[in-house]
Chain A
Amino acid sequence: MARIKLKVDPSRRRFLLRTAGQACGAALLGMGLLTLSRQSHSLPAEAIRPPGALAEKDFLSACVRCGLCVRDCPYDTLKLAELGDNVLTGTPYFTARNIPCEMCEDIPCVVACPTGALDKSLTDINESRMGLAALVDQENCLNFHGLRCDVCYRVCPLINKAISLQAQHNPRTGKHTLFIPVVHSDACTGCGKCEYACVLPEAAIKVLPTRLAKGAAAEHYRLGWEEKQKAGKPLVTPDTEHQYNLPEGYRYEHGGEGLIKEKDETTPFGSNPLDTLNKHQEQSK
């Protein structure tokens, strides 16, 4: 093998090699960290950020994990994640089932935040959106069984706004009413008092990150009846009258009564054809 002599300054070569090693080491560590961060930066659903928290991605660029929000929380709701918790280390969160947010009017946690990770433009705690309550277990919720538990509804700081009870027919008994707790996303702050108070061993109503708790209608969807009301007239023209092929002397009522006989015409048969058929049966007995 032919060899050629390279003109290399050994000290320069050493320097370049050392520098390359250091740069590559740092780069490898950086790539490892980036991979790790991808995996650990997703917030588990049971961990709720304090009121006013920026969207998770922005929050992680802003929060320096100083814990001043934790210190100013009068109810010890907030915690800083410890290393090894499933929440990103050092960031503040709370678990509604343990201690929910008491929704202080002066929002001390937001006031304490030096970074803006908790947005100071939040001045009315009712406007905060920490998450969204969702009645996730309709099989075990007592109200779905027809009982009047109502605890989630009663403890809600925005009762009748964030949670209301919707009366529904109870098909099991046929004569009672179900009072179904319904969460309204336009008012629910995600404070978690409903989840905390749920009487079941495992809460049937839970505060979830809004991204998990809420669906979204397609942008082009319109509710026809609302549009009609807004416009004050039908939007589909002409609004033709519906034609029914009904027997003579009958009409159809839309309010729920259904088919209605206009006047009692006298026939040799009763109004129910079955009576006529069964008459012979009874006679033969």
Chain B
Amino acid sequence: MLVTEKNAMTEEIEQLVEKYGSKRSSLLSILQDIQRKHKYIPDFAQQEVARLLDIHPVEVFSVISFYAFLNTKPKGKNIIRLCQTISCDMQGKSAVAKSIERELGIKFGETSKDNKFTLEYANCVGMCDQGPAMIINERVYYKLTPEKAIEILNGLK
């Protein structure tokens, strides 16, 4: 990380700590904001969060490692989470999954070379009555067909 990038990151985290407070109970909210913006929580950011909350960096890492939506390695700009649980499965999840894999040229768990997409499975996203469903970043898409899923992906920057 460049020094200028580090400074920008420190400033960003200081603002988040100001917004949520420097208490331990603010940790998850702070991490979620960093994750949302950068799509991962770099080592340096973990250290800065730890310093400002006055906890050990390993505590921060420990929390990140617990939650499925937080990660310490870079991910694509758009994180696709296709629901794999039974109701979506019965409504045609596999066909949608295969079409996305084909179209993006990546498998589940991978990130596209241009860093535009990361493809993952999610457990039940609560759209069981309108499956198959997927969440991309913070938006939910439902009643997917292979074709519709690809159209949605094409519409993303």
Q: Do A and B come from one complex?
A: no
Residues of A within 8 A of B (CB): none
